[in-house]
Amino acid sequence: MAKKVGVIRFLGTNCDFDILKWVQNKGQNSEFIWHEDQFNTQDFEALILPGGFSYGDYLRCGALAARSPVMKSVNEFAKQGKPVLGICNGFQILCEAGLLPGALIRNDSLRFKDEWAQLRVVNQKSYFGEKLNPDQKIQLPIAHGDGRFYADAETFKKIQDQNCVWLKYEKNPNGSMADIAGVTNAQGNVFGLMPHPERAQFSWMGSTDGDFFL
C-alpha cells in the first residue's frame, strides 16, 4: 500500500477537509482515519490531528478524544519515531494523551481569539516545518478559546533543556507561558501548535506561510 498522510477525525473535528486538501495540494496522498478505528502504522508516512471541538470540548479540550480507540495506534506510530502533527484541538489532544508536554488552558482574556498571529521559529525540526529556519518570522491565524500553553516548573525546565519549544508568539494573544505557540516532544517527531497553517495556503487567505509546514 502506498505511503500517505493519515488525517484523524473525531466527533466535533471541523478542520478535517481543510487538512485533507492542504496535504493533497502539496502533491501528497491523504486519507481520513475515524476515531473509533485502529490502523496499521506501516500504511502511513505521517499523521495529522486537525482542529475543531472534539467531543464538544466537554470535560477539558481534547481529554475525551485522547482516550479514543484510534489513539492506541497514534501512540504506537509516535513510538516508532514517525511524524505526528496536532493543530489547535489536535495539539490539545496530543497534550492530553501525554504525547506532548504541558497543557492548553483557557485564554487569559477568557475570550475566544480569532485573529492573525506573528510567530517566531525557535527550533527547526524535520518533516513538519523543516523548511523553517531559526528566528524566521511567519504569520498564521489562530482560532481558540483554550490556547494558553502551561506547564509546571519541572516540565517547563525539561521543555527548555530538551529544546522542545518550536514556535513562539511575537505578541502573545492568550497568555501562553513564555509566549509558546508550539512545542515538540523530546525526540522531535511529535509536533503541536495552536495557529492554523492550513488556513495560510494562498495569498487570498492573507498569508502563504502555511507552505513551510508541508
Domains along the chain with CATH numbers: 4-213 (3.40.50.880)
pLDDT band at 4 (very low <50, low <70, confident <90, very high): very high
Which residues have C-beta within 8 Å of that of residue 80, sequence separation ≥ 6? 41
Q: How far is it, in rounded angstroms, from Cα 3 to Cα 177? A: 37
Beta strands in the chain (DSSP E): 4-9, 30-34, 44-49, 84-87, 103-105, 113-121, 137-144, 148-150, 165-169, 180-184, 190-193
- Please give the model's pTM, rounded to 2 decimal places: 0.95
Q: How far is it, in rounded angstroms, from Cα 13 to Cα 122? A: 29
Whether 144 is catalytic is no
Written as one letter, the residue type at 139 is Q
Q: Does the pLDDT at position 198 exceed 70?
A: yes
Q: Which of 61, 95, 144, 198 is catalytic?
A: 198
Cβ(55)–Cβ(11) under 8 Å? yes
Q: What is the DSSP pairing of strand 165-169 with strand 84-87? A: unpaired
Whether 196 is catalytic is yes
Mean pLDDT of the 48-77 span: 96
What does the pLDDT read at residue 1?
Answer: 38
How confident is the model over 136-193, as pLDDT tens digits? Answer: 999 999 999 999 999 999 999 999 999 999 999 999 999 999 999 999 999 999 999 9
Q: Which of 15, 61, 88, 164 is catalytic?
A: 88
Beta strands in 93-202 (DSSP E): 103-105, 113-121, 137-144, 148-150, 165-169, 180-184, 190-193
Beta bridge partners of 183: 165, 192
Q: How far is it, in rounded angstroms, from Cα 74 to Cα 99? A: 9
Whether 88 is catalytic is yes
CA angle, residues 193, 26, 42, in degrees to nearest 5 = 75
